[in-house]
Structure 1
Amino acid sequence: MVNAATLWKWGCFSTKFSQTKPHVEDEKPSDLPLNLEAGRNTDDDTKIAKFHKDFNLIVEPLSSTDLISSNSDGSKIRIAYKGGPGANSEAAAVKAYPNCETVPWEDFESVFKAVELWLVDKAVVPIENSVSGSVHRNYDLFLGHRLHIVGEVQLIVNHCLLGLPGVRKEELKCVLSHPLVIDQCKIMLNRLDVVKVTTEDTAGAAKIVASNGIRYIGAIASLRQAEIYGLNILSKKIQNDSDNITRFLIVAREPIILGTNKPHKTSIVFTLEEGPGVLFRALSVFSLSDINLSKVTYREPANRPLKIVDDSIKGRTKYFNYFVYIDIEVSMAEPRAQNALRHLQEFCCFLRVLGCYPVDAFQ
């Protein structure tokens, strides 16, 4: 049976381009060739060689050690995102700011810090997917950073099956991608009867396929990543659910000027005093003010006690059993929203407005 160590032994994944060994999602018989050259597409050696020559031109994601400097020349707005070039987060940034300069980072913590330290102007982070649900890590990061939500972007997800030039999808025996992406495309992958291997992100999967040049390995990534890494698109829109949408939040150091001339949404987080029916009474303040709730997320913090950054800048550490994140369909500029939050505060031992921002006109 195939496991991660066996795939590594086969040389399917180059240590030069992958910092951590990929994880095998499921197991298949060990019928893949042991000789790397046996899987290489010799007809396309010229194309692969050209790719390697241009490989260093691809922007690499920055890590937390790069937070000490900035290359901005002030000519355009700089947007941070997690992942590599061509990631859905970058596409969301470009949708919101077509002329922006996108800056990739290795993890969400670095993305938030980059905004906080003035290395970029704003950041785009995923917060929920219509299939996979909420991105809980980013909810937690809002509590530890003094940033504000200033916008949202809804993006249709188009997962594509990618391979080397000249390869047909029926030839694939192993497919790489982010674990959530693999889960969202399982119907197609099960039909192909391939080994499913998880990577840090879709860009990493595309990079592994392109850099190793092995015919039987494919990746699930975006149309843009196919172009960046010189891969062929074997199939488009392979996700299980055609209505696969990811919602992203735009975060900045300062809140935006509020308005009431177009639909707005307000995101808040709070925790309540203990007692029977307290959550019901807390949420009822919005019904009494004729305010609709578009999302309610109950979150137990992974690390307790949890450090909460407040107006004192230093932050405070306190034990909380849970947090409730809600999105309300109203602008904080409206009196009914202000009255509802004043009433809500009577039940809360912690309350923060994360941001008020225009609703994305989904297209």
Structure 2
Amino acid sequence: MPPLSPPPSSNALNFNHLIRHRFTNRAVSTRISIKCAYGLDHGSYGFGSSRADWQSSCAILSSKVVSQEKSSTDNNGGTADNIAAINGHKTNVTDLQLVPIGNLTGEISKPIQPKPLTISDLAPAPMHGSLLRVAYQGVPGAYSEAAAGKAYPNCEAIPCDQFEVAFQAVELWIADRAVLPVENSLGGSIHRNYDLLLRHRLHIVGEVQLPVHHCLLALPGIRKEYLSRVISHPQALAQCEHTLTKLGLNVAREAVDDTAGAAEFIATNNLRDTAAIASARAAELYGLNVLADGIQDDPSNVTRFVMLAREPIIPRTDRPFKTSIVFAHDKGTSVLFKVLSAFAFRNISLTKIESRPHRNRPIRLVDDANVGTAKHFEYLFYVDFEASMAEVRAQNALAEVQEFTSFLRVLGSYPMDMTPWIPSSRGD
């Protein structure tokens, strides 16, 4: 399928506008950014002139996702379902707003007349090796963009302002894949994405590990002694704390949404007393200078990303595979021991196990028939183990696990990332 492009002179598109544009401007290749927009009234959308103003006015998309199911009463006293079923999921498609990058002038786009579908519009998603549309969280220059490029070389990377938006971009066929972080060797797990894996019905189809190489960036001509503030993602600030002190920087640390966004914010607002911790690519994109290279405290700093798709891949046995599952039980720790013994007795190595406490409300579990049940769980357990679901031992292990659990779901069985990893070197 061809990449999506925003129409010229538009400042906010709802999903219906996107569909119409998709079949009328197929040759345009302008990059778009998917964002969560907050409607001020029925006909317009309000946002500030800067990215910070825009971020602060975003509605929380998680309150508008598949867990919402609204119905209205029709004229005959029946129920008219306002939730569209897309890829087997009920979701209100009008809740997802798309905003083109670099065209936030407040102009109202002219309505685009729809054109009939053609056979090319109904073509299947691109196969491996074809140009894929890959959603990631952040702005261009983010480490997630680099992970998307490593996972799918020559892909069309689509930036999203929230993790949830990246999930929905795949579910709504705006993107073919999503590449999202799940854990960092220093900062630990990204719990938000583990929660979203359970909320949504996407499948893990691969993993990629990316070494994190931090740089200290500032506007051209700015020297380190001029700085009074350093901004970046909270984890990036924590990962460079000791090095910033060794550089003699007596500066305030301020957390922002993402590393590349910090670089963009400095360039957009011409902040001459502020530096960002971000990648060298972010410096190139936003016209900043690298004041210090490789400033992470620990050179063994790596983030693990997972690749998500609408359909699972067929597991194989001709190469190392990893399988991710999530399960729950409510009968105490003795059950957890029995669950883990199902893997130990079959010589299956666990690479990760993590518990997540339940929310103070029922968790909605959706099966393939879209029939939901609500139940309180004491804990959810996320487990990764080194085996393919094509192996009999893995199938038997899960069959035994199912006997002791009240809920079990396979998040994906996928090839392990076997590429050599070289720790980031620190620059002078």
Kept after mapping to 1: 8 A contact 2:330/2:377: no
> Greater relative contact order: 1 or 2 (C-alpha under 8 angstroms, separation 6 or more)?
1
**1:141–1:303 CA distance, 2 compared to 1 (3 A):** farther
Counterpart CA distance in 2 for 1:303 and 1:202 is 32
Q: Deviations over 1:96-145 (max 9, x none)?
A: 11110000111011111111111110100100000000011111111111
Match of 1:16 among 44, 50, 55: 50
Aligned to 1:34: none
Q: Secondary structure at the match of 1:120?
A: coil
Counterpart CA distance in 2 for 1:181 and 1:304 is 33
Q: Secondary structure at the match of 2:97?
A: helix
Q: Secondary structure at the match of 1:94?
A: helix
* Equivalent residue pairs, number: 306
Indicate the percent of aligned positions where both proteins have the same amino acid: 55
Aligned to 2:278: 221
**1:197 is aligned to 2:254:** yes
Q: CA deviation at 1:303?
A: 4.9
Q: CA deviation at 1:15?
A: 6.3
Q: Deviations over 1:241-269 (max 9, x none)?
A: 11000000000000111111110000000
Q: Secondary structure at the match of 2:213?
A: coil
> Which one-letter code corresponds to 2:240 in the other structure?
C
Match of 1:125 among 180, 189, 192: 180
Counterpart CA distance in 1 for 2:172 and 2:379 is 29
Match of 1:65 among 77, 97, 109: 97
Match of 1:149 among 197, 204, 207: 204
Counterpart CA distance in 2 for 1:309 and 1:260 is 30
Q: CA deviation at 1:66?
A: 2.1
Q: Secondary structure at the match of 1:346?
A: helix
Q: Which runs of 5+ in 1 are unaligned?
A: 1-13, 22-62
Kept after mapping to 2: 8 A contact 1:148/1:354: yes
Indicate the structure with greater helix content.
1
Q: CA deviation at 1:314?
A: 4.7
> Which one-letter code corresponds to 2:139 in the other structure?
G
> Which one-letter code corresponds to 1:78 in the other structure?
R
Aligned to 1:233: 290
Q: Secondary structure at the match of 2:267?
A: helix
Counterpart CA distance in 2 for 1:362 and 1:127 is 18
Kept after mapping to 2: 8 A contact 1:143/1:309: no
Kept after mapping to 2: 8 A contact 1:18/1:204: no
Counterpart CA distance in 1 for 2:242 and 2:185 is 17
Q: Which runs of 5+ in 2 are unaligned?
A: 1-47, 57-94, 100-119, 421-428
Q: How does 1:43-62 map to 2 (within 5 A)?
A: none
Counterpart CA distance in 2 for 1:185 and 1:98 is 29
> Which one-letter code corresponds to 1:353 in the other structure?
V
Match of 2:267 among 195, 207, 210: 210
**1:293 is aligned to 2:350:** yes
Q: Deviations over 1:270-292 (max 9, x none)?
A: 00131351111110100001100
Counterpart CA distance in 2 for 1:244 and 1:276 is 33
Q: How does 1:160-171 map to 2 (within 5 A)?
A: 160-171=215-226
**How well do the aligned residues superpose, as a CA RMSD in angstroms?**
2.1
Aligned to 1:335: 392
Q: Secondary structure at the match of 2:303?
A: strand
Aligned to 1:134: 189
Q: Deviations over 1:296-321 (max 9, x none)?
A: 11111345211222212253322112
> Which one-letter code corresponds to 2:334 in the other structure?
G
Aligned to 2:155: 100
Moved over 3 A (4+): 72-75
Aligned to 2:27: none
